[in-house]
Amino acid sequence: MTRGRPVRLSALLAAAALLAACQPRAEAGTPDAEALLGTWQVDLRPTPDAPAYLQEFVVTSVAGDTLVGTFYGTAITHGRINSAWNAVHFAFVTSDGSGAYNTTGVLAGDQLRGTTHSLGRNFLAVWTATHTP
């Protein structure tokens, strides 16, 4: 009751509908990290207008939050997966004589989008990849 008057049912229903519309919506399930399995052609071109520079990213195992495979012909270490944000995100480390390369990416539809950061060579590469049959 408000000021001696009963609250109308229609006002309560309108308020309930407004509150329901403001609530976060449940996501439609966890994305499947197994979609990463297989061979990917990674385009590592240094600038958007440069010719394609293709290298392979091969994912041989996905188990829980762990990723195993190779990138640019080098074994992946510390491979991790996070599917908690309604997408499959991953990160791993590779290395060569210049030091470590920290790579992160996300599965976006049928494509991967990622970055590779090298302190030893002082660059951040932005790349995309497509799954190969």
Please state the pTM of the whole predicted model: 0.77
Between CA 117 and CA 102 the distance in angstroms is 5
Each residue of 78-103: pLDDT tens digit?
999 999 999 999 999 999 999 999 99
Distance CA 129, CA 113 (A): 7
- The end-to-end CA distance of the chain, in Å, is 67
Where residue 133 falls among pLDDT bands split at 50, 70, 90? Answer: confident
Q: What is the pLDDT at residue 7?
A: 52
Q: CATH: 3.40.50.920, 3.20.20.10, 3.40.50.2300, 2.40.128.120. Which one for 36-132? A: 2.40.128.120
How far CA 123 is from CA of 71, 88, 95, 119, in Å, comes to: 17, 25, 14, 7
pLDDT at residue 20, as a whole number: 45
Dihedral Cα 64, 132, 60, 48, nearest 10 deg: -70
Question: By three-state DSSP, how is residue 34 classified?
Answer: helix
Which residue ranges make up each domain of the chain?
36-132
Interatomic CA distance for residues 12 and 38, integer angstroms: 54
